[in-house]
Chain A
């Protein structure tokens, strides 16, 4: 925040930094950012909830992002999401009860040439099939154990 000159217009940048460090925005950090930048709490909260990129809930240990952009949609992203819901019982935006896996959707990752695309703990992977998807998730969880 000091780098950005403690100005109120640095709010979004500051929240980005917080989310990068902690994985999500909790109430305390939003309050802290708001007071340091002298921005009303309501505005800070408003900004945090307005933008999809900010998450107010802690993420699971592993995150699986499925792109639901147009190209991925045409190539069957919805089926991938269904498969995950069937196996893990989570819908987009949810985390499994054991806190292991979070499922997120993205509007477009810009790799439409390789649709459908998913991101598994920062690793982008394209041309997914249902089987490949499950294998990726399996590997991700296994890696941890």
Chain B
């Protein structure tokens, strides 16, 4: 493909879209699909031809629109209407209403804080672009970043832009992306690799899934730019096998990009060549750790190894490798398109840009949100999230999955950035945000995460393999009321040990849920140990003997 052809595709696509007076977008991401989004789409398309409005109306499937709780969602452009909980039976009414008064009973206000308070960069195309059509993405400035990088910048300048943007790794730890890139770029080797980490293992997190499902080309473009910047010709995307739709859309996207010469040899007529292969995970949380992920791509058991050497020096097949998360790559095309300085203006001093969160749990508006860094937790939970349903009391918000912690009500006014969350004993993590109300027992929550870490520990190093098991056992005993003060002391000691001596991030962060609940909700632990009661009536105290097994 030549640059002119790219412009041509974009122009014809935009023109084609404008030919239609009404454009109906149906969410076909996994959440809406499970509430029947595909049937709604079929039925809408059928109704359009039945009512003879083929020439006026376009029905297309798009990525996630965010408000998953109200799915399946349908949006109507250019009127900017949104319909919620649409069923196949509603299709006739929706089609009939186009250009007329909207269907009141289905309407979903688009000016509510949920939509208003968001700033979309990563998700800018989600809900607008058909993930299965490359032309749609190109029409939305797609692959323009890659074109700009290849024709206007040297590889060094690409890395410079990323450094300037201040982007930090969105996988959880927040390592500056530009630094990582420059390390790989400087590494001396003829063969380098770019890996996209899509092994979104944190339960309760679905940001990467939504990006891969709704806008797969953006990730490919980000990877290709990275390949150019660091000097790699081969990329791998590692995706969980649990995400069939993401896999399907990615496969289509890779094929289309290759067909159009946006991946492959001599992209845009330059000397740069880059290819991407898909690799499937097989359900192992630890494979989100970079060295374990590399082992898994090489076809071995996904076990981490000691670092250094870091993958930037010795990664896949012993060659310098750049590993970034899906969301990190998704940030790259706009950074190159608009410049690093543009990106650096958004967010806080140390945490730039936006962050996508998967808001779930006991909150009215569950779904996918993208907010600027520095927004407070209170704004997220109570304004965007719409507060706690059923008139219950907010108790805690859990971020960072099994490696993160629970943040109590008194810290709700803290801004969301990497440093503040760390100070609170949690982490940014990949972006799962789970809200809990007073019906959750914090001891039980800690136990839940410990059970997770116990079963996901790969078993390579002793502190993690044995430590998580013992901690789970202790939490079990606290929960069923058979523990005393001694057990609590042992638990705290173990937390410290496992945190400081484990090999990889899984073990090092496994005690976080326990530590943070102990820090903020020690009262609840005390109630279990001293008064033998569970304040939230969750734990099976009193039936201790039955449960100990």
Contacts and interface: CB of A to CB of B under 8 A. Distances in A.
- The finding on whether chains A and B are genuine partners in a shared complex, rather than unrelated, reads yes
A9 B300 CA distance: 7
Interface in B343-400: 358-362, 366-368, 398
Contacts of B368: 113
B296 A113 contact: no
A70 interface: yes
A114 B362 CA distance: 11
Contacts of B359: 113
Nearest to A39: B299
A12 B242 contact: no
A110 B448 contact: no
Contacts of A72: 203
Interface stretch (B142-150, B264-272, B279-287): B279-287
Interface residues of B, number: 52
Given A53-B283, A71-B360, A107-B201, A112 B242 contact: no
Nearest to B456: A107
Contact of B366 (A10, A39, A50, A113): A113
B34 A43 contact: no
Interface in A109-140: 109-115, 117, 124-127
Interface in A61-99: 68-75
Q: Which of A8, A12, A13, A108 has the most CB of B within 10 A?
A: A108
A134 B159 CA distance: 55
A68 B402 CA distance: 13
Nearest to B204: A70
B298 A110 contact: no
B69 interface: yes
A107 B301 CA distance: 19
Contacts of A107: 201, 203, 242, 283, 285, 452
B206 interface: yes
A65 B358 CA distance: 22
A72 B360 CA distance: 9
Interface string A10-32: 11110110000000000000000
A9 B297 contact: yes
Nearest to A11: B299
A41 interface: no
A106 interface: yes
A53 B361 CA distance: 25
Given A9-B299, A47-B301, A112 B360 contact: yes
B436 A52 contact: no
A113 B204 CA distance: 9
Contacts of A50: 284, 301-302, 458
A71 B445 CA distance: 11
A40 to B, nearest CB: 11
Interface of B: 30-31, 33-35, 67-69, 71, 200-206, 209, 241-243, 279-285, 296-302, 358-362, 366-368, 398, 401, 432, 434, 436, 440, 448-449, 452, 458
28 contacts: A12-B282, A47-B300, A53-B242, A53-B281, A53-B283, A70-B203, A70-B204, A70-B401, A70-B449, A71-B360, A72-B203, A106-B242, A108-B204, A108-B205, A110-B31, A111-B30, A111-B31, A111-B68, A112-B206, A112-B360, A112-B366, A113-B68, A113-B71, A114-B35, A114-B366, A115-B360, A126-B35, A127-B35
